[in-house]
Amino acid sequence: MGNLSKAGLTRILNVMLIIAIALSGLGFVADLNNTLTYGGIDLRNRVVGARLLASGKDPYFFRWQPGDDERFLDPLDKPEIPVSRVTVPPTALLLYRPFEALPYRQQRLIWLGLQWLALLIPLAIMTRVPASVMRSKFLAVNGWLLFAASNFWRVHVERGQIYIFYVLGLAVAYWVAQRKWNQRDICSGLLIGMTASMRFPLIIMTLPMLLFRRFRLLVATWVGFIGSLVGSVLLMGDAVWKSYGSAMQSFAALSANDLSSIRQDVAIVFPDIVEGMDNLTSKVKMPGINSSLQSTVEEILGISLSTSHLIAGLAGVVLLLSLVLLSCSRAVRQQLGLDLIFLSGGVMILIADFFIPAPRYSYNDVQFLIPLLLLLKYLKLSDSRGVLLYLFWLISWLIASSTFIWLPREVALGAYYMMLVTLVMMILIVRGTLLNNLLSNTFDDSLNDQLNDSLNSILSKTGTSFRE
């Protein structure tokens, strides 16, 4: 077999990128159809929560009664449970405030556009590698194919989920931190903190900042986080935060199947048509497999993990990972620089996502975007282990996408497999084992040589050669 030239690799990447974008375009058409056909069951409860908040009502414990405004009705609420389906903090509900007065049908279309915009911006930021046009194309192929064209993105958009906006906040913070501004760390940290105020586990990003002594970024992140919380109290009052805390305690009891203290003997019949729509309870069929650690251990081992158990487990895993990060050499730290903060922080966020005592579904997997693209940016493809790890990640993605439906709990299995491969890949890169040198002037020319060498290494084990 002949040698793979740079021009040949460029053509292959161009064709793959066109195919990936075309598949993503078809995915957008499917998203538009799903938006018009289904009700966006996760968007509905947050829109209702934002409307209640704007009207001075409690978004977490409001119970709709016949005669109340239909704008405040979430048809999937369970009257026998005293809490609503709103699980995001008041800071996240503020995202929905600009549109809360619009009819829900219009909000569905607006949210479709905003979700796609929130995906395209991180893709544009994270796939840019100034040292290599070909590596940028390689990242773009993976970004479009594994995320924009994926099954979990279809579900994320159809449900009207919010996770991509957390990714957007971190991606913009990453972009800001790379600018040649005197105050870039401060501006980036403020953005990270503001994003974390909408999803608290993201504050774990501050641990790598502490480990690698990025103190300006660290302080700015905490200022952004605390400032956002204080600002929301000044804007909305502290009562809504107290209500949010009580609601989360109720949800924790629900997750632990401790329903005796929160069940109510209430029966309310909701109208079939709400705001002129009869599809608010309809949704795209997806494998309804909860991949949270709490649910997985309960399902497989029959062991109920309490919140304290989960916190202790997460602390142990993060501590071990921190020790690994501290052991990386000065040369690796210098080469990765800011990317090391966002890579290790992003992986910690992914790990924490599994430990949260709440349902975790396939749309959560969009949070792999930043860590994966940073890993592929540095992955040493001249080493066959790097290629194999990349192939393993693709296989895990296929499993998580329900390609092998005969596997038990395939979506959860794929999610844990993706997490494991991501973790192994990161450890080998920060240890320098699979770290490619982005500072090399010949990096762009070497990508095809790396692929040739790694393919030769793999094929030689089967008695075949990629070169003649």
pLDDT tens digits, residue range 161-200?
Answer: 999 999 999 999 999 999 988 999 999 999 999 999 999 9
pLDDT computed for residue 296 by the predictor = 94
Residue type for position 301: L
> Which segment of 217-221, 309-313, 412-416, 445-449 scores lowest on mean pLDDT?
445-449
444 band by pLDDT with thresholds 50, 70 and 90: very low
What value does the mean pLDDT take over residues 9-38? 95
pLDDT computed for residue 445 by the predictor = 45
Give the start-to-end residue ranges of the domains of the chain: 6-460
pLDDT computed for residue 465 by the predictor = 46
Residue type for position 177: A
Q: What is the pLDDT of residues 362-408, one digit of tens each?
A: 999 999 999 999 999 999 988 889 999 999 999 999 999 988 888 88
Percent of the residues in the chain that have a pLDDT greater than 70, as a whole number:
89
pLDDT computed for residue 193 by the predictor = 98
pLDDT computed for residue 466 by the predictor = 43
HEC per residue, the chain: CCCCCHHHHHHHHHHHHHHHHHHHHHHHHHHHHHHHHCCCHHHHHHHHHHHHHHCCCCCCCCCCCCCCCHHHCCCCCCCCCCCCCCCCCHHHHHHHHHHCCCCHHHHHHHHHHHHHHHHHHHHHHHCCCCCCHHHHHHHHHHHHHHHHCCHHHHHHHHHCCCHHHHHHHHHHHHHHHCCCCCCHHHHHHHHHHHHHCCCHHHHHHHHHHHHCCCHHHHHHHHHHHHHHHHHHHHHHCCHHHHHHHHHHHHHHHHHCCCCCCCCCCCCCCCCCCECCECCCCCCCCCCCCCCCHHHHHHHHHCCCCCHHHHHHHHHHHHHHHHHHHHCCCHHHHHHHCHHHHHHHHHHHHHHHHHHCCCCCCHHHHHHHHHHHHHHHHHECCCCHHHHHHHHHHHHHHHHHCCCCCCCCCHHHHHHHHHHHHHHHHHHHHHCCCCECCCCCCCHHHHHHHHHHHHHHHHHHCCCCCCCC
pLDDT computed for residue 130 by the predictor = 76
What value does the mean pLDDT take over residues 140-160? 96
> Which segment of 172-186, 262-276, 281-295 scores lowest on mean pLDDT?
262-276
pLDDT greater than 80 at residue 330: yes
CB 105 within 8 A of CB 276: yes
Mean predicted lDDT score pLDDT of the chain? 89
pLDDT greater than 70 at residue 446: no
Backbone phi and psi for residue 261, each to the nearest 5 degrees, phi listed first: -85, -10
Q: What is the pLDDT of residues 43-83, one digit of tens each?
A: 999 999 999 999 999 999 999 999 899 999 999 998 888 89
pLDDT computed for residue 9 by the predictor = 82
What value does the mean pLDDT take over residues 246-257? 77
Percent of the residues in the chain that have a pLDDT greater than 90, as a whole number:
71
Q: What is the pLDDT of residues 208-247, one digit of tens each?
A: 999 999 999 999 999 999 999 999 999 999 999 999 999 9
1 band by pLDDT with thresholds 50, 70 and 90: very low
The model's pTM: 0.91
461 band by pLDDT with thresholds 50, 70 and 90: low
pLDDT computed for residue 405 by the predictor = 84
